[in-house]
Structure 1
């Protein structure tokens, strides 16, 4: 790191200039949020079903009595031994949101193609408590463009993040976030989906790092990150008087 060292007055001048830019970003975020809420909806007519600890449930039943459902498409394939490290990083931030979301008419649930026993075992290992269900035997992941068949992976491109991307840049499982609304008649509507870096703001650790002196301090996205039970103990600083 090679930063200019200045007086407090010069620092305040630079900081106020950045504050103006930060306010621009906040106002832009507010405008984008309004545009997101104004998106048209699509009725979900397909009968999706999921394996849950309480038995097989439909998409409408995943709402758990609320009118809004947010699904995190967690990368965990049927044959995988563990969930994706990056998705696990994001999932570490979900449990604390649950009481707030649930009391604001929103249900949050993770969905993966891994069978439920694998999901339950990994969830226990990670000490997570958010709802997590299996879409095994359902077209849900494929229809929402986060899982791809062997035949698709043998082709040149797959559909992801609202475009066609080269297979070499894809994987059989990819992350995403989708939102749904259930009306008084029980009809379900798809209101929003986001992929790739779209759900990044759910990762509170990154939001803190963005304000730390070294920022994210990574050469590639998440190249430093591990599952939270896989970190080696960080070396302790030596005392100046030792």
Structure 2
């Protein structure tokens, strides 16, 4: 509510006003409103009530400075549509404040149309939504107009079409030639491990004259002989015992 005159001319007050009172004889100011999807309803104090005003500033609220009691104000109703659809508002404000209606016309768009051999991605169907088209794999677009917009219930048009990508014989030949080059390079870079010196050295035992090598070799031979002797010792004992028993019998 906007005060048009008095001490607070030009000031805007919230529509709820100051309707909290302790006694019915106290002065107050108020506009109470209710709304639906299609209507806004306002209520004001009856003109027969001498204590009811549209704007009341006084007592402890006005601090004795900007007192005002007024029944003539300018009322502004703001309608916000969170879906982005604009509203067409009509008002019928007669002196008794019996009716104040506001209607909103939907501007949602239908589901975006399909383009042959193309994919589509859209972020909604409300006013301001967008649809992005892209040709499927193997197809080429005829234009760069790949996006449409939802404007007041209709999608903007696009001349985009998707046709099969043309592949010439030269392109196929070039691809085959490149593949042959790659195979030749791979053959040139591939080395047979059996033809390397490392593989040859792994098959040959070379004499090492260093004392440490001789010592390690001797210890290894001794260990092998000891293991063999331990394995053969029971058989040797049995053979020796058999020979002794045979000689005694003779």
TM-score, with normalisation over the residues of structure 1?
0.21
Instruction: Return the structure number with greater relative CO, CA threshold 8 A, min gap 6.
Output: 1
TM-score, with normalisation over the residues of structure 2?
0.21
